[in-house]
Structure 1
Amino acid sequence: MVRFTVFLGLLRGLAGRLAAAALLGVALTHGAMAAATDDPDAVRRAAEDVLAGDRIQQEMPSGRPERPPPEPPSWLEWIPEGLADIVQLLMWIVIIVVGIVLIGYLTNEVAGYKRRERMRNGAEGGAAGNGADGADGAVRTSLTEADRLAQAGRFGEALHVLLLCCLGELRRRHLDAQLAPSLTSREILARLSLPERAAAAFAAIVAAVELSHFGGRPADAGQYDARRADFLLFADESGSTA
């Protein structure tokens, strides 16, 4: 108990000293401020000294901060610095060319699909119409479409229309054969029993389409005229009155 009382006495003495020191500091600060206020030049010089340093920003920054240029991809690090930009440019050119080729391919496919649908609808309408008169109308419509493409210089597409006309005639006249849509033209030719001249004409049209679409050999006007004659022969030999 005595020790605790002594400890409390020490704490009270320490607290008193700290309070006295604080009061003394406040008095000194107040006196310094009063002295500085009485001397305006001293205040101005003190302010100039503070503003002269670089710790206080005195102006608003102008513009946006410059960003460092983007670093090239890691797979371009092995290329010299001067060639990296050229390689990236060539890469973008290749991407653009591939995109253009893909768009052209899809456009041709869509046009071909629409054309096949028109041909199929025409063939079905002819078969459901007035017998031979309906068949003749379908053949004339098909030839008109093929001739229109040929006059526009699109001989490869015109040959394809002739082939579709042949397939339409086969399906219309050989319904018992149950031709599957997945069969190729050569498979259809092998499965059906056709007169010799009709089979030869059909084979010539199939070969011309294969060379034009898959063999990379563009068709011309002479080739189209020859295959058009083959189609007329095929339609006549297979039973059409065209």
Structure 2
Amino acid sequence: MSFSAEFLQQRIAEAKRLVYERVEYQEGLPKPTAFVEPEIARGWALLGWLGAFMVGLVLIWGLVRLIGLFLGSSGRGRKNMEVAKVIQPGLVIEIDWERIRSLVASGEFASAIHELLALTLAELERKGGVVLMPHLTSREIAREIPMPTAAHEALQGLVATAENVHFGRRPADEADFQRCRVLHDEFVARLAAGGKS
């Protein structure tokens, strides 16, 4: 008995259909997987979020700096305020000449020079129209506070000598004190003269 090719193809197609419709076959098929985003797309998204985060940080930093300049909490704004404002009463204690003379008479020249420097800074407050901030050192005051050139030079000389004999513990003598006294007098005179130095 021979079958035609067409008959055989129909029988094979029918057998396939029956197999595909069977429950055992349907359960044996692999389950469709969820769509997985390609790794490259996730990488670009991560870079985008990281970039947005960095831009946000820069904007916040800039805003903080801007507010700091207005409020004087940044270094540059604070320094400008110190030189321009320099107002706080009672920084320099009252030192009189009698106290300085007694130190010179007892041979305590280093202490007398240091007291003379404090008296000079008090003169800067009284006659220079400024009140010094308590955290400024004498060197910073000599460098940053606006004053006539000759007064500035005299104050720098006095500060240098006071640092050497008081903080550097170099022995001081009466000649050192007299030099500082001349510098003090020069400072006071030039400060009183104002811009005519």
Length-normalised TM-score, structure 2: 0.47
* Larger Rg, first or second structure (1 or 2): 1
If the length of structure 1 is used for normalisation, what is the TM-score? 0.39
